[in-house]
């Protein structure tokens, strides 16, 4: 398992850079106890969600859902809409990257007969994951990091993000209407069959408890202990299925940002230069560096609640701004190597439209509506 984590870190350049930067920062800003920068509740929430998602996946829940819904559809548009909406509505519970990695392979299977349709649907599906996950901070590393750093309650978070979430859903729905009605390639077969409805019920119960912990209704330690105990008793192999690189990433982000925040001159310079432009600055920089490094930088110079909206919108645009975009690009390239450039262009077109529309709504339309 350790070797798998190391291999994954080597594959993800941004993760490797953040991890290296965190280690280097410890040299220049010595701290007697690194755990002072790490929020254990946040790590507990993230681990619980990843373990529950792995449990549901290994028990064939997602295969069963897709098998029972997609196979009933008569053409590419209806099948694609089902897959896109499944991605959108499951992303808050299994993370944006989890939703893409679960449902995008089904999309390739169903729509591979028409590559142009597949390219558009994959781009839209990835955007759906990035927008759908925003309703819960635990579904995205950037949101989870900011949720803790800005010390927000869930009601404050929802007040900021809910209008953008609803607008994102409506825009995704409109874009679905442009999917051409072409025949589907074939039916979906179950790679994993549902082994135990009893296990599935328990995992869904734990997921509900995890959501309650995110919104602050119950204690996170209780949920974390419950998840660990259930997995140990029922399916210990689930521990090996958890994507620990996400946890490593969050821990590295906490350490790096915590160390940088101790350098008063540096944080003062960031605030002076970027303080009034943190929202827009993060959207622009994320297109060049990815959303994670960008949000770390701007979290040093701004504590405005709107920064959490910016962190979610920054996943739209260029393909390298989000892990989901990189994943679907690689997946499409493996099946259709000659179509990679077309996919990047389609991804940018979809992302740029959604980013521009949601930015204008958030900056100009929503304030007027709330004022009235």
Q: Which of 25-29, 281-285, 294-298 has the lowest mean pLDDT?
A: 25-29
Quote the pLDDT of residue 132: 95
pLDDT of 346 above 60: yes
Among 3-12, 120-129, 185-194, 311-320, the range of highest mean pLDDT: 120-129
Quote the pLDDT of residue 35: 65
Share of the chain above pLDDT 70, in %: 90
Quote the pLDDT of residue 356: 95
Quote the pLDDT of residue 52: 92
Write the pLDDT tens digit of every residue in 95-142: 888 899 999 998 988 888 889 999 999 999 999 999 999 999 988 888
Q: Which residue has the higher pLDDT, 28 or 190?
A: 28
Burial class (CB in 10 A: 0-12, 13-18, 19+), 200: middle
Among 12-26, 248-262, 323-337, the range of highest mean pLDDT: 323-337
Quote the pLDDT of residue 33: 61
Quote the pLDDT of residue 312: 92
Write the pLDDT tens digit of every residue in 113-126: 889 999 999 999 99
Output the furthest CA–CA distance in the chain (Å, rounded): 62
pLDDT of 30 above 90: no
For the residues 24-52, what does the mean pLDDT come to? 78
Which among 27, 88, 67 has a CA at the least distance from the CA of 190? 67
What span, in angstroms and rounded, lies between the C-alpha atoms of 280 and 293? 15
Quote the pLDDT of residue 232: 93
For the residues 260-280, what does the mean pLDDT come to? 79
What span, in angstroms and rounded, lies between the C-alpha atoms of 148 and 138? 10
For the residues 156-169, what does the mean pLDDT come to? 94
Quote the pLDDT of residue 3: 61
For the residues 219-226, what does the mean pLDDT come to? 89
What span, in angstroms and rounded, lies between the C-alpha atoms of 34 and 17? 19
Q: Please, which pLDDT band fits residue 357 given cuts at 50, 70 and 90?
A: very high
Quote the pLDDT of residue 305: 85
What span, in angstroms and rounded, lies between the C-alpha atoms of 351 and 359? 12
Q: Please, which pLDDT band fits residue 160 given cuts at 50, 70 and 90?
A: very high
3-state secondary structure the chain: CHHHHHHHHHHCHHHHHHHHHHHHHHHHCCCCCHHHHCCHHHHHHHHHHHHHHHHHHHCCHHHHHHHHHHCCCCCHHHHHHHHHHHHHHHHHHHCHHHHHHHHHHHHHHHHCCCHHHHHHHHHHHHHHHHHHHHHCHHHCHHHHHHHHHCCCCHHHHHHHHHHHHHHHHHHHHHHHCCCCCCCCCCCCCCCCCCCCHHHHHHHHHHHHHHHHHHCCCCCHHHHHHHHHHHHHHHCHHHHHHCCHHHHHHHHHHHHHHHHHHCCHHHHHHHHHHHHHHHHHHHHHHHHHHCHHHHHHHHHCCCCCCHHHHHHHHCCCCCHHHCHHHHHHHHHHHHHCHHHHHHHHHHHHHHHHHHHHHHHHHHHHHHHHHHHC
Q: Which residue has the higher pLDDT, 233 or 370?
A: 233
For the residues 183-211, what does the mean pLDDT come to? 80
- Here the tokens at position 156 are 């404050």
Quote the pLDDT of residue 5: 53
What span, in angstroms and rounded, lies between the C-alpha atoms of 247 and 8? 12
Q: Which residue has the higher pLDDT, 67 or 344?
A: 344
Per the prediction, the chain carries an average pLDDT of 85
For the residues 270-283, what does the mean pLDDT come to? 82
Q: Which of 23-27, 163-167, 231-235, 323-327 has the lowest mean pLDDT?
A: 23-27
Quote the pLDDT of residue 157: 92
Quote the pLDDT of residue 182: 80
């Amino acid at each position: 398992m350790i070797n798998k984590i190391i291999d994954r870190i080597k594959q993800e350049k941004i993760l490797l850079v953040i991890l290296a930067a965190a280690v280097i920062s410890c040299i220049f800003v010595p701290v007697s106890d690194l755990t002072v920068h790490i929020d254990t509740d946040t790590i507990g929430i993230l681990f619980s969600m990843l373990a529950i998602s792995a449990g549901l996946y290994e028990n064939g829940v997602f295969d069963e859902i897709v098998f029972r819904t997609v196979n009933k559809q008569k053409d590419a548009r209806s099948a694609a809409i089902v897959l896109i909406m499944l991605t959108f509505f499951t992303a808050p519970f299994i993370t944006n990257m989890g939703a893409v990695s679960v449902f995008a392979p089904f999309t390739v299977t169903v729509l591979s007969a028409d590559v142009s349709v597949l390219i558009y649907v994959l781009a839209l599906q990835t955007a759906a994951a990035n927008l759908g996950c925003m309703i819960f901070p635990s579904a995205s590393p950037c949101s989870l990091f900011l949720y803790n750093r800005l010390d927000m309650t869930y009601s404050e978070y929802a007040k900021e993000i809910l209008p953008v979430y609803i607008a994102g859903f409506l825009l995704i729905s409109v874009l679905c209407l442009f999917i051409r009605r072409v025949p589907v390639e074939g039916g979906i077969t179950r790679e994993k069959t549902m082994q135990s409805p009893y296990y599935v019920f328990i995992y869904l119960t734990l997921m509900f408890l995890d959501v309650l912990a995110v919104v602050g209704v119950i204690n996170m330690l209780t949920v974390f202990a419950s998840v660990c105990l259930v997995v140990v008793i029922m399916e210990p192999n689930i521990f090996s299925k958890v994507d620990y690189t996400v946890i490593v990433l969050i821990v590295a982000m906490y350490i790096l940002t915590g160390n940088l925040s101790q350098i008063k001159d540096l944080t003062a310079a960031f605030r002076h230069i970027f303080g009034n432009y943190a929202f827009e600055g993060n959207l622009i920089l994320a297109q060049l560096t990815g959303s994670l490094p960008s949000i770390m930088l701007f979290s040093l110079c701004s504590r405005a609640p709107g920064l959490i909206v910016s962190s979610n919108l920054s996943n739209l645009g260029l393909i390298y701004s989000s892990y989901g975009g990189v994943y679907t690009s690689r997946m499409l390239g493996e099946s259709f190597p000659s179509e990679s450039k077309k996919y990047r262009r389609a991804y940018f077109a979809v992302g740029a439209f959604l980013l521009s529309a949601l930015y204008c709504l958030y900056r100009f339309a929503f304030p007027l509506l709330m004022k009235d």
